[in-house]
Chains A and B, each alone.
Chain A
Amino acid sequence: GAVVSQHPSRVICKSGTSVKIECRSLDFQATTMFWYRQFPKQSLMLMATSNEGSKATYEQGVEKDKFLINHASLTLSTLTVTSAHPEDSSFYICSAPDRTRTVTDTQYFGPGTRLTVL
């Protein structure tokens, strides 16, 4: 149980284009999902909290107009990287807590999306 999927797993795009990444909770509902960015051999950096039915909350230094988040349903959150540039190339990971479990703040992670901007 508590499976989170991401799509696509890898994407290569040209500079200036927009890329959408989907995060789905497959066997539970998630009113909250989290988006992270990870650089090679480093820990995860929280970008934003995605809230179902309301606006996302962004961490300090993360441009909300650059990284658009939509939490359209209880099982789907999307991250759109707008006007992507090479410096946006990174590994993006989403997570979601399964509130039906005993320990409600344990988060389950998607497999990640490798974005490469040429």
Chain B
Amino acid sequence: TQLLEQSPQFLSIQEGENLTVYCNSSSVFSSLQWYRQEPGEGPVLLVTVVTGGEVKKLKRLTFQFGDARKDSSLHITAAQPGDTGLYLCAGAPREYGNKLVFGAGTILRVKS
């Protein structure tokens, strides 16, 4: 069992559709990060959420941190083909020191 359960693992949708990716854990995180990675490149930081209940928006992307700081979600509105990629949630549980724990990742494909 992974410390950070990320779902879904694969998502193939049409341009213009909405989608939500979830990251859940039984551990408390001081912060959670969301990254996007394209093939052959390193992960690029999208956002860090810190406060329980926090909502952050980045254009068509909305990130939410659960009140108890154990879960997070990424919602994309009107997905575009350029959103295609691997989305990763990550965080450092208190008991892990400064090591990041990653979700399994969500491979998103947006078809035009």
Seen from chain A, the residues whose Cβ lies within 8 Å of a Cβ on chain B are: 4, 6, 32, 34, 41-44, 46, 49, 91, 93, 95, 97, 103-112, 114
Can you list 25 A-B contacts with CB-CB less than 8 angstroms, sorted by A residue number?
A: A6-B42, A34-B100, A41-B86, A41-B105, A41-B107, A43-B105, A44-B102, A49-B99, A93-B42, A103-B48, A104-B98, A105-B91, A105-B100, A106-B48, A107-B33, A108-B45, A109-B42, A109-B43, A109-B44, A109-B45, A111-B41, A111-B42, A112-B40, A112-B41, A112-B42
Interface residues on B, range: 20 to 34
Neighbouring A residues of B48 by C-beta, 8 Å: 103, 106
Neighbouring B residues of A110 by C-beta, 8 Å: 42
How many pairs, one residue from A and one from B, have CB atoms within 8 Å of each other in the complex? Answer: 58
